[in-house]
Amino acid sequence: MSGGEARAPAVRRPRGRPAERDGPSGWRPWQRDVRRSLGGGDVSPGRGGMKGDFLGLWNHVLAVLPAGPCPQPQAAMAARLVKRCACLLREATLVSPAAAPAVVSVGRLRLAQVGRRTLTSSATSPSSHFPRSLSGLLEKEHVFSARPQQQEVDQLIEKATRPEELLELLSGGHCLHGNHAALVLIQLSRLLSDKPEHKASLMQDARFQQLLQLVNSQIASVWHGPLVRLLRSLYTLAPPSACTQLQSVEQEVRWRLRRLRYKHLAFLAESSTAYMQQRGSQELLTELLVSLERRWAEIEDGRTVVALMAKAGPLSEPLMNRLEDKCLELAEQFGPDELRKVLVTLAAQNRRSVPLLRAVSYHLVQKPLPLTKGVLLDLAYAYGKLGFQQTQVFQRLAADLLPHVPSLTSGEVARCAKSFALLKWLSGPLFEAFVQHVLDRAQTVPVPHLCNVLLAFAHLNFHPERPEQEDQFFSLVHEKLDLELTGLHPALQVDVVWALCVLRQAREAELRAVLRPELHGQFLEAQSPKDQGTFRKLLHVNASAQLEHPGYAGPRLPAAALVPRPSALDRKATPLQKELQDALKGLLGSSDRGSFAVPTQYGWVLDAEVLLDPDGQFLPLGSFAAPHLAPPRGSQPLPPGAKRLAFLRWEFSSYGSRSRELLGRFALARRHVQAAGFLVVDRFLKIKKLFPGAAAFRIPGPGVRALWP
């Protein structure tokens, strides 16, 4: 060896182990074992078991195997590989060259299609003698590739703009296989997506049926990507429910679910779950959901997790839990659009996932994300629908929405105002801008949108700061309602007039419109929760007509309708209510000196009621007239100077978010009770100002306001 040549490193053998020697024929011992496993008999070169062309295959395998000692697993793998190749090539030689079919795609390898015959490995079989060199066949076989090569027919399918162009490919001399037929069907569904009237005629076309038969006969050779798109395309083409070809595609997808990539599973869930439910493909849908749940860790992008939450999440609670966990993991990578989709998806499913809502809120506050008008509106809707309180997010939404108000439509203004009303968040500048927006479009604003804005104002008890702006706004409301109030839905009519009562803007004509027997009669025997809520609002409107409009002479609710229903007292007592009752019971001493949970004919329930004489001593309630009850009780008038006290308990939810102002419903309750002749005690901590002998008496508990008016 010359000095310039590289010297191979010496291999050090373990002690006590003899070195392996090459056989007399030049083969390694492990190679000899492999050849024997092939059934070749004598393994020496030039002898009868491995003659002629089969040696070319053997040498081709040896070229890619290690030259040194080979571990037993690799030797067994080599034996199986050579045996399989020998069987396939032997079968290929049985087909005449003129009648040999085209090369088709099978799995991830492209092999010559052979007839289904019983394969044998006998060395003495006549089929073991090949007409041409196997090594030559291997050298010419270049079709083993990860993807099929692009052919002319593929380009024709992609460029087709009419269904007829695709159907003509069957008679154009092109050699179509299963993948081509699948691509043609996919392209047909795209071209007919906006032409549903042409789908029925396509089903009757013989060429379309030929495509279905071709796909059905070679369904196992269709690649994964075209297969899942083919299933979606067949769903959109809406074949008959008994279509065997569609059932075959569904079955093939079921068999391949474990081999499909996660993006294919997500595509199926996003595009085909609704069709599976419609067609009753419950087995496929169930297995798809299970696969998505088990392989959830493979999700890598935010779009996939958001799409699955929207489409597949409502169908599987375990999958939705997994998706929420993955969403928490990827939340830091989300942009504004992904955050919006997550919240809208949760809102659509009414799923109040507090950890996920907190994570999204954190990123909205901490990151300087550019929020467009559409994103802001969707975020406000989602937070309002889920009732999730996050002050910093609300401040940003209100501040970012304010510059966009002039460009909003009337529907967007109504939607935004309703969202903030659900959040109990009153932003003065933003709602002033809403008022001005409505005034600027007074002639074009639809009445339903105006009603929604009015309901939002009533819920938050919002009044414009400038008196002239308030007068203009309510003048517009009355003008619109005079023409179209009776044409609205009965429940909406009640809601609108109730909102006007809350804002102290109701007129007698509007009260008369909803208190007439023709309208309120359909709510007297209400059973559904929604209709019962409408009936309670009718009680409030009737109380406004009785207590706040002395000159009202129109129709009213019948006396039988004013009797409180049992459902009004079925609510579970809150901790604050229990503390109030226990404290008053200890102070009163006698049960006839006070009443608790008193239902009135005005639709409100008093937490407690007591009667005081001019000296501040308790009087028995049962001895005196009680006109606020239904039906009224007692006939003895109150002594001169006596006072009725009504205790109204306001919980934290009775106030606006971060506000000391009551919401509209509770402000209306206070006004009605005061107008009925009561002194209202609704902010209390020390009672000594009420009762002279109760200097040491306190009502503890969270949420209690500390002022006595």
pLDDT at 59: 59
DSSP state of 596: E
Record the tokens describing residue 26, joined without a space. 């030049």
pLDDT at 529: 87
- Total Cβ atoms within 10 A of residue 471: 11
Q: What is the DSSP string of 407-462?
A: G--HHHHHHHHHHHHHTT---HHHHHHHHHHHHHTTTT--HHHHHHHHHHHHHHT-
Q: Is the dihedral of CA 381, 382, 383, 386 positive or negative?
A: positive
Looking at residue 588, its amino acid is L
Tallying the residues shown for the chain, one arrives at: 709
Looking at residue 84, its amino acid is R
Peptide bond into 631 cis (omega under 30): yes
Count Cα neighbours of 464 within 13 Å in the Cβ-side half-sphere.
Answer: 20
Are 218 and 180 spatial neighbours (Cβ–Cβ below 8 Å)? no
Are 645 and 613 spatial neighbours (Cβ–Cβ below 8 Å)? no
Q: What is the DSSP string of 237-271?
A: H---TT-HHHHHHHHHHHHHTTTS-HHHHHHHHHH
What would the pLDDT profile of 289-313 be if each residue is shown by its tens digit?
999 999 999 998 889 999 999 999 9
Say whether 678 sits in a helix, a strand or coil: strand
Q: Is the dihedral of CA 588, 574, 676, 599 positive or negative?
A: negative
Relative orientation angle of helices 317-330 and 302-311, to the nearest 10 degrees: 150
pLDDT at 255: 94
Phi first, then psi: give them for residue 325, nearest 5 degrees. Answer: -65, -45
Record the tokens describing residue 629, joined without a space. 């009850």
- Which letter, b or e, does each residue of 217-244 get, where b requires 16 or more Cβ atoms within 10 Å of its Cβ? ebbebbbebbbbbbbbbbbbbbbeeebe
Looking at residue 162, its amino acid is R
- Total Cβ atoms within 10 A of residue 672: 24
pLDDT at 98: 40
Are 667 and 461 spatial neighbours (Cβ–Cβ below 8 Å)? yes
Q: Which residues contact 170 (CB under 8 A, 6 or more apart)?
A: 176, 207, 210, 211
Record the tokens describing residue 47, joined without a space. 């002898």
The region, left, alpha or beta by phi > 0 then psi within -120 to 50, assigned to residue 616 is left
pLDDT at 157: 83
pLDDT at 60: 55
DSSP strands (E only) in 486-619: 594-599, 605-612
Q: Which residue has the tokens 């990860």?
A: 146
Q: In what order do the strands lie in the sheet with 643-647?
A: 594-599, 605-612, 643-647, 678-681
Q: Which residues contact 205 (CB under 8 A, 6 or more apart)?
A: 167
Q: Report the alpha-carbon distance of residue 431 to residue 418 in Å, rounded.
A: 11
Strands 103-106 and 643-647, how do they pair?
unpaired
Quickly count helices (H) and strands (E) in the chain. 29, 6
- pLDDT lower than 70: segments of the chain: 1-151, 172-174, 567-570, 683-709
- Cα first-last separation, the chain: 112
Record the tokens describing residue 690, joined without a space. 């009420």
Q: Is the dihedral of CA 147, 153, 155, 159 positive or negative?
A: negative
Are 604 and 673 spatial neighbours (Cβ–Cβ below 8 Å)? yes
Q: What is the DSSP string of 202-245?
A: HHT-HHHHHHHHHHHHTGGGS-HHHHHHHHHHHHHH---TT-HH
pLDDT at 338: 92
Record the tokens describing residue 9, joined without a space. 């490193």
Phi first, then psi: give them for residue 316, nearest 5 degrees. Answer: -145, 115
Say whether 109 sits in a helix, a strand or coil: strand
pLDDT at 172: 65
What would the pLDDT profile of 95-132 be if each residue is shown by its tens digit?
434 444 444 443 333 333 433 333 333 333 333 343 44
Q: How far is CA 168 from the centre of its chain?
A: 42
Are 39 and 123 spatial neighbours (Cβ–Cβ below 8 Å)? yes
Q: Is the dihedral of CA 61, 66, 69, 71 positive or negative?
A: negative
DSSP state of 704: -
Strands 643-647 and 678-681, how do they pair?
parallel
Strands 594-599 and 103-106, how do they pair?
unpaired
Helix (H) or strand (E) holding 679: strand 678-681
Query: What are the beta bridge partners of residue 680?
Result: 646
DSSP state of 630: S
Q: Report the alpha-carbon distance of residue 632 to residue 444 in Å, rounded.
A: 48
Are 576 and 649 spatial neighbours (Cβ–Cβ below 8 Å)? yes
Q: Is the dihedral of CA 164, 166, 170, 173 positive or negative?
A: positive
